[in-house]
Copies of this chain bind each other. A is one copy, B any other.
Amino acid sequence: MSSNTFGKLLSVTTFGESHGPAIGCVVDGCPPGLVLDAADFVADLSRRASGRTRHTSQRREDDTVEILSGVYQSLTTGTPIALLIRNTDARSRDYDDLLETFRPAHADYTYWHKYGIRDPRGGGRSSARETTMRVAAGVIAKKWLRERHGVRVRGYLAQLGAITPHVFDWQAVEQNAFFWPDAAQVPELEAAMDALRKAGDSTGARVNVVAEGLPPGWGEPIYGKLDAELASALMSINAVKGVEIGDGFAAVAQRGSTHRDELTPQGFASNHAGGILGGISSGQDITCSIALKPTSSIRIPGRSVNLRGEPVEVVTSGRHDPCVGIRATPIAEAMVALVLMDHALRHRAQCGDVVPQAPRIP
């Protein structure tokens, strides 16, 4: 019942605090025979890392993964894969003035009331530093999904504050630091971020993730629904306040005659459902979207209280992201990939010998 463990058949347990000696994870349940070594983790960890551009936190995370177990001669063995990253650029003194103060909109106040104690250095366990290990675990899931099932999971920044893309181009996404699908808008984003940083404020964002290539039939009914577990996985990412599958909240004002995705021998006529019906994949693209709140670590003074309940003024120094949504794309991809791989294994367990009696829509 560990709250630091995610997944049922592919389970990921993470550990570590922002400014402790190390962060790490244990990935249990990965099938044997997957080619894996430390180099596999470089690309996605770099996509998530801070300090890449002036638009993210200037903490320089040199995230080198050490594989401690579960891999022999570059093949997974079926035993737990432990991954370790040492924390290097930790400046705990930056947080000394927060020892006695609850930052607004942080977990400071709630951790204190739950546990009666907290590690205040960089947010301790509640820091988004933990998401590094989600990305690392997600690398394994992405690779397995791609190699075993031809499933591809990728995401992009779909809104930054009030800015939305005018055109959509997957090629553009990986060619700018924002994961933005409209190359022409990048200067506008940079200007917006510069202005935000200058103002000492932060902004919210929306990230979309798409999974392509799933067969119909992955997922579970009732409480283990694919969309329910995606919702949990995505909502568990720091700063996420909303999750949509397919049309999401737009469905509220739709008619059934519009929303239903008609089936034809040539395929589904639309994809309002986001590739999931009754909690089970339909074979269409899985589409989901998350809302990330503006980070609360800003330089504009705010009201708070201290451990004694007295009013104080808080200004967050330290190194922070003016828009955590920018770096959230690889994290969201990782969570989606982990959920899908888990469901692929669960499907195989119960229905591994089912031969569908109806043709699959292309």
Known: A82-B24, A293-B259. A241 touches B247 (CB 8 A): yes
Instruction: Out of B6, B260, B351, name the residue touching A104 (CB < 8 Å).
Output: B260
Q: How large is the interface on A (under 10, 10 to 19, 20 to 34, 35 or more residues)?
A: 35 or more
A292 within 8 A of B: yes
On chain B, the residues within 8 Å of A259 by CB distance are 105, 204, 293-294, 296
The CA of A240 and the CA of B161, in the complex, are separated in Å by 26
> Is the beta-carbon distance between A358 and B307 smaller than 8 angstroms?
yes
- Within A22-72, the residues touching B (CB, 8 Å) are 22-24, 26, 28-33, 66, 68-70, 72
> What's the Cα separation between A310 and B276 when bound, in Å?
22
Distance (whole angstroms) from the CB of A93 to the closest CB of chain B: 15
Q: Which residue in B206, B223, B227, B293 is a CB contact (below 8 Å) of A3?
A: B223
Residue among B3, B262, B307 making CB contact with A304, cutoff 8 Å = B262
Q: Which residue of B lies closest to A105 (CB)?
A: B260
A171 close to chain B: CB less than 8 A: no
CB of A56, distance to nearest CB on chain B (Å): 15
A347 CB-CB contact with B under 8 Å = yes
Which listed residue (B21, B110, B251) contacts A219, Cβ 8 A?
Answer: B110
For residue A348, give the distance in angstroms from its CB to the closest CB of chain B.
5
Q: Which of B5, B269, B300, B311 is in CB contact (< 8 Å) with A264?
A: B311
| Interface membership of A126, Cβ < 8 A | yes
State A114–B281 Cα separation when bound (angstroms): 9
Asked if residues B13 and A280 are in contact (CB atoms below 8 Å), the reply is: no
Chain B contacts for A282, CB-based, 8 A: 109-110
Q: Can you pick out 8 interface pairs between chain A and chain B where the beta carbons lie within 8 Å of each other?
A: A15-B82, A17-B70, A115-B351, A227-B240, A241-B273, A260-B298, A265-B309, A272-B293
